[in-house]
Amino acid sequence: MSALRWGCGAAGLGRALVPAGRRRLLAEEGAGALGGIWGRRRSSSASPCERDRRKDWGHAELLEVLEARVRQLQGESVSEVTVKRVDVARIPEGSGSSFQLSRKAEAGAALELRGRWAEKLDKEKRIMQKRKQRLEVKLQAHSQKPPREQQPRLLRVEPRLKNGQLAGCLQRWARGSPTSPWEEQLAQVLQEAPQKLNCEEVQAPADRGAEAQLSGQRQKLLAFFECCLLTDHLPLAHHVLVTQHGNFRRRRLLTLAMYNTVMLGWARKGSFKELVYVFFMVKDAGLAPDLLSYAAALQCMGRLDQDASTIKRCLEQMARDRLQVQKLFLAVPMSEEEQAVLLTAVRKVKPAFSPPPRPTPRVNTSPLLKDIYAQDGPVSYPKLHLPLKTLEDLFQQQLRVELATTVQVKSVEKAPALTSEVLHARETLRSLRDQWEAALCHELQEIKAELARRAHEGRPTLYPHLCLLSEQETAQMLLQVLQVLPPQGESLIQLAYQLGTRAFNRHVVQRKQREHQVQALQRRYSEYLRLLACDTQVDPPRLPRQYWESLGGPGGEPPPEQPWPLPVLVQLGKQLAEVLVRAVRMPRSPGAPPGAEQLIPVLYHVYSFRSFRQIGILKPHPAFSQLLATAAEPTLTFEAAEVPMLCPPLPWTSPHSGAFLLSPAKLMRAVEGTIQHQERLEHCPPAALHGALDALTQLGNCAWRVNGRVLDLVLELFHTRGCTRLGVPPPASEAPRPPSRRPAPGTPPAHLAELRREAARCLKAARELRSLRADALYRLSLAQHLRHHGAFWLPHNMDFRGRTYPCPPHLSHLGSDLARALLEFAQGRPLGPRGLDWLKLHVVNLTGLKKRESLQARLAFADQVLDEVLDSADRPMTGRKWWMAADEPWQTLACCMEIARAVRSPDPATFVSHFPVHQDGSCNGLQHYAALGRDSAGAASVNLTPSDLPQDVYSGVAAQVEVFRRQDAEQGVRVAQVLEGFVSRKVVKQTVMTVVYGVTRYGGRLQIEKRLHELQDFPQEFVWEASHYLVRQVFNSLQEMFSATRAIQHWLTESARLISHMGSAVEWVTPLGIPVIQPYHRTAKFQRWNPEHDLQQQLRQQPAAQHAEAEERLPTQLHPLTGLLPHDANGPALLQEGPDLRLCPRLLLDPRGRCPCHEPGVPRAVRPAAQPAHPARSVSVPGEAVLFRPQVSEFLQEHPDAQAVPDTAGAAGDRDLRPGAGEAVHVLLQLTPAPPPPCPSPRLSPRAASCLVP
């Protein structure tokens, strides 16, 4: 209620409390009424008798108000509202004249109160009755209407055109004029089509936000049309297209791809009239038909057996549009049946026409791969150890798994005793799931009916997407997601994306079944296995990708299913999540009989804050979580793509084809929502990706098996109480619990705050433990499920940097020590003469001992501890347990077991070993930087140069930090004296390892602080100060030991910062031909630009934000396998090339990012680029590049009138925050052939001028 209404109410209340017959001055009345509510409390000057009378009058008025309200509610028969009696203290009788009220005054006041409040309530009652009567009349009139209004609208076919001439022609032709048959209309429409490729170029939005929103709407609209074709709702798609085209504001959403999609649908049905309607809309929208448009028209003519004259006119118009008929069979994705129909139509005009042959596959020309793809000799490919018959049986098993889309796995969690409570909980869950499935199916039917009604109104909806799967399949999918929902809930966006992705995966599998692609896959895969089986040969030998491509038919592979855009997946997932929330209900007490208790929702929405964002979370009811915990069901359900394959995966042949048999997979995984990576891959020449495709195929063809002995030991610990030190998480019952007793009254605030922090720590630890326990449960359950399989395979893909990962997330050879120890090679190899020695060296390396010793010293140490190795292998849990003290205990134990078997074999050289030896570089990031900078000292410290003793860079940095600490301690620095004896390799290792991956001083301090907390003897009151001191010394040590490395890193960081300021992402192409683009974007709390604050002023408020974008991301370019580096790594020398470089003085910016000759406050990140980048530059900077010291000197020679401006942004603080940030000056090149317009003389700040010293 507003302040005015409060004031009026207070004034009225004040007037009502005054006894009758007493008049007040206006000033006194207002002051008394408002002052009592809003003003400062004051002492009353009234006598006690008068104050008692006012109190009594207040009670009388309150009683009258409540009685009137009771009468009103009783008259309206409102049964839900309960009115409580209010007892008012009666005035004692015989207490003297001061407590007796005048009967006349009492009757008059009561009459006045009763009349005023009763009139107000009666007026409200009359208004509500009139509204109720009007509503009843409307409902009665609506019920008496004929049922034709409830029927769906007729679908529109004939479009509404904006062009008057086209509209007149369409009306004449629609009336069936005999002089102009439909066949001639198409030819005339094609001839008169304007030669304008895209009307969106004229209607492009002005700002980037509107453009992104428009792109999302177009993606949803195109997905709607495509799904309508898949679900046989083509008339509905045509109706929506006509409606959108007729609305001139919505027409800008339509693209040529949408018109082509509907045209292709009509062409497949042979509906020529509707196809001509779409062509009319294409012309009316100002679009020119492309190859797909002509392919649809010719395909429709071929199905209808049209005469040659119409087809001839269509082909002639294609020639006028500079489109070749041959490209119809090469550039347009079509099935074999569609190509045959198209060929029939073309041959009516050109009988001798034959489809062009498939182009000869191009060979990768990368110099790094010339030996692999050389054509001078046969290519040999390693064989598997399994025969053809076994591989065919495994293929059938994997095919059944993917057709089912899910895998049921028995849980390794210790089964509870089958008490009556557990059995009753399981029976209750089974009964509830049956009810939920029926309720979900009913809810889905209602949702689909509502969405279909909206689509009939011309609005694109999710109706065709929901029709892709049956209601029962969708309900079962939703119940599977409900089963694995964590008790703390899950983000609604993540859950929606998961639901949308699962729906898409099931649709892809069903479509391949429906289009008989499964039978074709069986025939093709059987031939492909002849390349891999140990008892068959292929002549000539080829690589798997080459052989798979040669097995394809003349039309090649069918076009792969394009993944739905992220907005469509999230929107569909949200709709399914809402269905789940509304349909799934349960009794508050699961033990109550059906119908005896009111049902409650199983899921509900809550909100939480992550950083500064408020997010929605879908959380299960505690009663449901308790029911699941009590039932303790013995099975787990996984998606087919989450489980290792039982047969060799398909070879990767394109960004969309490879890995699983039926389930879709991505060649490149990226941050969800980014589409730039997929676009780069699709526009990349196919031959350029051969190196990456063949490498991923080779990794996927490696067969694995479960190490059963290690698995049994892990399960033994898992079933007891776990072991945190060995990486086996304990059960949730072992989680720390906060104190259960409430604090006593009078507890000091500081102690209450500490109790709250302790409770938060316990809650965090419990959640982390639950997550770790679930991860271990999934991994061990899958390992137990696959332990009796002789072999399984892990298909691989890569991330946006080119790093390879297994597609199954839970069980793989990459991960923790426990995950690596569980797997071994399915195909063994003899150790050979020195194989046993290498196993001994490996077990010493796993222990973490003798890191600085030579190979001979390590081998001698292995012989010394051979008894401990054999004892660990024979009695791992009851012996001396030497393996538990190693850095990698489970891998050490597995290696001990392998050594024991080899030593006790008759001939260790012929012993067949399956043990995998994992190897790693010595700080790969520093290795690449040292190689780039030709840093001999840094290269020696990371083992890039030959040496008798292995070098340890972490120990070297720790020794250098200790030197600095000793010097400061001698000078009396208190924190340096406290750190004596605590500077070790373990304290500095994580910071040294991650500094090349972009860790800042802020993040490094947190890492060191965590290590110091782990030291029991270190005084904890000095942790904060010591971490600040150590991170500074670590960075100084790296600067001294790796000077060239830090210089290159600063150059890359500054380049990334300037590129990102121009609104572009850093992108490059690796030497292997993989296009890479950085997907990271900084999210700001506010979008408003403040010209008075420098960007580095914002950095002081968020120390890690900008560095996390520039420093943290860029060094990952240097991949240890592919040697990635930006193409313009030589920087200034490359930018000096090109005769058309022109220097624009107006782009000389001061440190605040402002141009002196433009209006203040315009950030450089939003200035439009004047010209595309020069071809000599490989990094995409729209029209601008960094100018470094050599160019600055030339610039000052050409512009001697450059002036300096005062620097008020705090240069000293900026230098402390970003060391070396002044290496590059904020001077930009504008790449334009013409000279720039005249501008005022540029100015330089003192900070920028200080960088001009050569």
Summarised one tens digit per residue, pLDDT across range 234-264 is 999 999 999 999 887 888 889 999 999 999 9
Q: pLDDT band at residue 1221, thresholds of 50, 70 and 90?
A: very low
Q: Is the pTM of this model over 0.75?
A: no
Q: pLDDT band at residue 28, thresholds of 50, 70 and 90?
A: very low
The answer on pLDDT for 645 being more than 80 is: yes
Lowest mean per-residue pLDDT among 164-173, 919-928, 1159-1168 = 1159-1168
Cβ atoms 1121, 1218 nearer than 8 A: no
Check residues 1193 and 530 and name the one with the higher pLDDT.
530
Most confidently predicted of 730-734, 805-809, 918-922, 1206-1210: 805-809
Q: What are phi and psi of 73, to 5 degrees?
A: -65, -35
Q: Which of 545, 552, 565 is CA-nearest to residue 517?
A: 552
Largest CA distance in the chain: 126
Q: Which residues contact residue 700 at a Cβ distance below 8 angstroms, ignoring those fewer than 6 apart?
A: 648, 649, 659, 793, 794, 795, 796
The answer on pLDDT for 535 being more than 70 is: yes
Q: pLDDT band at residue 738, thresholds of 50, 70 and 90?
A: confident
Torsion sign across C-alpha atoms 544, 545, 548, 550: negative
Most confidently predicted of 844-848, 850-854, 898-902, 1213-1217: 898-902
Q: Which of 15, 34, 12 is CA-nearest to residue 23?
A: 15
The answer on pLDDT for 649 being more than 90 is: yes
Collapsing DSSP to helix, strand or coil, 745 comes out as coil
The answer on pLDDT for 1227 being more than 50 is: no
Q: What is the pLDDT of residue 66?
A: 62
Cβ atoms 574, 492 nearer than 8 A: yes
Paired tokens of 701: 């063809």
Cβ atoms 1038, 957 nearer than 8 A: yes
Q: What is the pLDDT of residue 93?
A: 42
Q: What is the pLDDT of residue 73?
A: 56
Lowest mean per-residue pLDDT among 60-74, 89-103, 728-742, 1168-1182 = 1168-1182
Most confidently predicted of 155-164, 344-353, 902-911: 902-911
Check residues 962 and 308 and name the one with the higher pLDDT.
962
Give me the percent of the chain exceeding a pLDDT of 90.
Answer: 30
Give me the percent of the chain exceeding a pLDDT of 70.
Answer: 70
Most confidently predicted of 14-18, 542-546, 591-595: 542-546
* Partners of residue 806 on adjacent β-strands: 796
Q: What is the pLDDT of residue 745?
A: 85
The whole-number average pLDDT for the span 1199-1214 is 37
Paired tokens of 144: 């008496």
Q: pLDDT band at residue 554, thresholds of 50, 70 and 90?
A: low
Q: What is the pLDDT of residue 184?
A: 59
Lowest mean per-residue pLDDT among 78-92, 972-986, 1012-1026, 1113-1127 = 1113-1127
The whole-number average pLDDT for the span 725-752 is 85
**Exposure letters 747-765 (e unless 16+ CB within 10 A, then b):** eeeeeeeeeeeeeeeeeee
The whole-number average pLDDT for the span 860-873 is 93
Collapsing DSSP to helix, strand or coil, 579 comes out as helix
Lowest mean per-residue pLDDT among 217-221, 589-593, 780-784, 1110-1114 = 1110-1114
Q: What is the pLDDT of residue 188?
A: 58
Check residues 482 and 1047 and name the one with the higher pLDDT.
482
Paired tokens of 333: 């994705």
347: left (phi over 0), alpha (psi -120 to 50) or beta: alpha
Q: What is the pLDDT of residue 883?
A: 93
- Tokens 């087809």 belong to 311
The whole-number average pLDDT for the span 732-761 is 84
The answer on pLDDT for 270 being more than 50 is: yes
Q: pLDDT band at residue 1161, thresholds of 50, 70 and 90?
A: very low
Question: 337 exposed, middle or buried (CB, 10 Å; 0-12, 13-18, 19+)?
Answer: exposed
Q: pLDDT band at residue 77, thresholds of 50, 70 and 90?
A: very low
Collapsing DSSP to helix, strand or coil, 604 comes out as strand
Q: pLDDT band at residue 1215, thresholds of 50, 70 and 90?
A: very low
Q: What is the pLDDT of residue 1241?
A: 40
How far apart are alpha carbons 804 and 798 in whole angstroms? 4
The answer on pLDDT for 126 being more than 90 is: no
